[in-house]
A and B are shown apart, each in its own frame.
Chain A
């Protein structure tokens, strides 16, 4: 009977050998991400920075030079034009206009009118105009939900596992999130509300993955009372390896179509999630587990009551 296995059964890879390498590489990448966050910084979308985005479809292939020239004459600061999808589709981005929130509206209307006049037959397919006060609030709420999500995860893991697990999970999450931010900085993708959703999703996915591996460690802690922690962690990772990779594969398979067919809005989202799945899978093994090893040696078994598992016949090795 043929069965697709991503890794063979009964692997015995000594992941913990790479514990220093994993942690150091991860820390360095996160540090680099933090640096990238400050310089060159993120490409904030209009959700967070305010401004105007207009998606237009011209009757023939768009003449970018002419469009740029026409729009620049409106004197509305930097106008970014971008083709996407087909040569007829133009994405026009304007900086936040000086003045209050209403100024964005005026500017958006002006662009609409200019397009109608200069390139007859153009259909405006999408308009988004966000003022400073709204974008400020959206940013605040976005950051707040990220912060609260961290805290909620910490509390949940702490509640369900010993504190070493919670600590390991939260440090891993921090390392994960900084790298996603770094990914946004490097690729120059728009950092907007969708990005917050992406980060939250990856956080959820990452924690999900850690929970499964941790669950197994906890179970093995009860079964193999004498086994050194390092060996036990390796064993737990190996045992769950097929599941970890299988789920990553399935999630990946469900996300890839999003990155391919999702259109402008969801394409970036899909790409970041793909990055996030790799990140979360590797951090379960190379970050969360080593942290537990450092924190837990000699301590993790203390206070763990003899579980029901202990009474059961010892599993055959």
Chain B
């Protein structure tokens, strides 16, 4: 226990020096860092949102809406399919997870099944087919049910969340937030972390908009004031406000879809000075747009966003260039946001913010200051006690404690772990816990000395006997913190991380490093008695 081969000594010193070097970038100013190579300057502790300021949002994808959309689509397609196959029905109803069709003539059931089969998509198959149909079609006399299977529902959900994450990422990128974190959480949630964002209002609004844009014809035969629409049309409110034009009757058929947009930018109309959004279609969209406008000159064409009519301009002439303009009494911010939304694309389903935690940057700075203060005072107090209680050996322990903090910082920096406010509390607590090892060792050495052992014998026995106790007591803490890390969320995880590192590293600093110091001192000064 007391003999250190030369290579081991050097290794221990090398670890300490290397750790110190790696933790240094955390203390350097921005200017100094800029002069250093990137890989080195980059080994810094990641500050959590609670320390640097920023916004943490947890979003939930409305899966019911996803399924509802698919079911609604099924109703429409079923109607078309049955009509083309000349099969009479009395009703098609949408259920929670599928549709039911009542046939006029039960004898046609087999034909109806055949007609409905193409509605089913295969999931999980490759290019060569295979996979499973997502619809489960059953007949019961004249009643046919087509239900989405469990696999289909799960597949839909996965698709929806992946698509949503992509769109969320695009939208946030458009806002220019630095280093956002966007990650899936669980089955239907998206975690969004926005460093430096003080008021996430705009982003919440951007993310809370589905931005499903469609171009549809206005039904001229119906009167919107009655609030009723003929089959195939629906009454939609207008965003223009005002009491005179509260709503439009709009055909359900989508002429051109927003998915075919290639670009959208905010601008002003040179004549009126009004804010507008200019858009541009891709090839498919441009062709459809041209066809529709050519066939419907003189009629109003509704631009519908999330089931609200933004505007319904009258088509004056065929628009063949694939470009157009939306004007709808926008503010500058409103036009910009709409352009962002259109560029980024529509969400497959509405997103809800279910958790928000925002910290302003000055509160973060206050927390850092408070944390540093607490750690410094804690360090001084613990060291003072150790010095008073164990003299020189206490000084060794204090030096080890300092190295412990430095190495913990280095480890956090290298792993780019996130330091949170509870994480600082963890560092503090691990100060107290890691000197426990030194207290155990020193007390033991003291006891062994009292029992009459010599200098070397007491040291040897002190270390070897205390060691298993140290391992035992530290392991129990590490187990706890692992649990906290797995089940905790957000900032609390940071507590588990720093305390785990602090304790694991203390197994090196408080035992190995301190032993090296003690042994070196012992060899050099050859004392007659130990200073414990």
Contact = CB atoms under 8 A, between A and B. Distances in A.
Interface stretch (B280-288, B303-311, B350-358): B350-358
Contacts of A149: 479-480, 483
A193 to B, nearest CB: 5
Contacts of A209: 473
Interface string A124-164: 11111111011000100110110011001100100010000
A289 interface: no
B395 interface: no
A257 B488 contact: no
Interface residues of B, number: 82
B443 A242 contact: yes
Given A3-B389, A246-B389, A247-B439, A254 B472 contact: no
Interface stretch (B211-219, B249-257, B370-378): B370-378
B477 interface: yes
B489 interface: yes
Contacts of B475: 156
Interface in B449-482: 450-452, 465, 468-469, 472-477, 479-481
Given A101-B355, A266-B421, A316-B451, A3 B390 contact: yes
Contacts of B465: 219
Interface in B216-262: none
A263 interface: yes
A239 interface: yes
Given A134-B58, A200-B483, A262 B425 contact: yes
B296 interface: no
B472 A211 contact: yes
A118 interface: no
A305 to B, nearest CB: 17
A193 B389 contact: no
B489 A193 contact: yes
B382 interface: yes
Contacts, number: 236
B480 A203 contact: yes
A227 interface: no
B381 A253 contact: yes
Interface in A75-131: 100-102, 104-105, 108-109, 112, 123-131
Interface in B362-392: 362-363, 366-367, 370-371, 373-375, 377-379, 381-382, 384-386, 388-391
A254 to B, nearest CB: 4
A177 B311 CA distance: 63
B401 to A, nearest CB: 10
A125 B360 contact: yes
Contacts of A269: 422, 425
Contacts of A262: 370-371, 374, 425
A250 interface: yes
B363 A126 contact: yes
A197 B198 CA distance: 27
B294 interface: no
A258 B374 contact: yes
A57 B367 CA distance: 15
B113 interface: no
Contacts of A263: 366-367, 370, 421
B204 interface: yes
Contacts of A129: 355-357
Contact of B484 (A101, A105, A197): A197
B479 A152 contact: yes
B388 A204 contact: no
B389 A252 contact: no
A27 B203 CA distance: 53
B487 A142 contact: yes
A149 B485 CA distance: 12
Contacts of A203: 480
Contacts of B389: 3-5, 246
Contacts of A258: 374, 378, 425, 428
Contact of A127 (B358, B431, B432): B358
Contacts of B374: 257-258, 260-262, 266
B28 to A, nearest CB: 25
A160 B354 contact: no
Given A250-B386, A255-B428, A211 B476 contact: yes
A208 B476 contact: yes
A254 B378 contact: yes
A34 interface: no
Contacts of B447: 239
Contacts of B358: 124, 126-128
A125 B382 contact: no
B528 interface: no
Interface string A232-276: 000000011011001101111111111011110110011001000
B75 interface: no
A257 B491 CA distance: 20
Nearest to A239: B447
Given A9-B450, A156-B476, A212-B473, A253 B432 contact: yes
A105 B204 contact: yes
A1 interface: yes
B192 to A, nearest CB: 13
A186 interface: no
B429 interface: yes
A227 B353 CA distance: 66
A206 to B, nearest CB: 9
B504 interface: no
Contact of A101 (B60, B480, B486): B60
A270 B447 CA distance: 33
Most buried by A among B198, B370, B435, B446: B370
A257 B371 CA distance: 9
Contacts of A270: 425
A201 interface: yes
A55 interface: yes
Given A141-B487, A142-B487, A160-B472, A254 B428 contact: yes
B488 A193 contact: yes
A315 B452 CA distance: 9
Given A105-B204, A133-B354, A160-B472, A194 B492 contact: yes
A211 B488 CA distance: 26
B531 interface: yes
A257 B390 contact: no
Interface string B183-199: 00000000000000011
Interface of B: 50, 58, 60, 198-199, 201, 204, 352-360, 362-363, 366-367, 370-371, 373-375, 377-379, 381-382, 384-386, 388-391, 421-422, 424-425, 428-429, 431-433, 435-436, 439-440, 443, 446-447, 450-452, 465, 468-469, 472-477, 479-481, 483-484, 486-492, 495-496, 499, 531-532
- Kindly list the 6 A-B residue pairs having the minimum CB-CB distance in the complex, ordered from nearest: A251-B432, A101-B354, A254-B432, A145-B487, A4-B388, A253-B381
Given A196-B484, A250-B431, A266-B425, 8 more contacts: A1-B391, A101-B355, A130-B355, A141-B487, A142-B488, A211-B472, A260-B374, A260-B377
19 contacts: A1-B391, A129-B357, A133-B60, A134-B354, A142-B488, A145-B486, A152-B479, A193-B490, A200-B481, A207-B476, A211-B476, A243-B443, A246-B443, A252-B432, A258-B374, A258-B425, A261-B374, A262-B371, A270-B425
Interface of A: 1-5, 9, 55, 100-102, 104-105, 108-109, 112, 123-131, 133-134, 138, 141-142, 144-145, 148-149, 152-153, 156, 160, 193-194, 196-197, 200-201, 203-205, 207-209, 211-212, 215, 219, 239-240, 242-243, 246-247, 249-258, 260-263, 265-266, 269-270, 273, 315-316
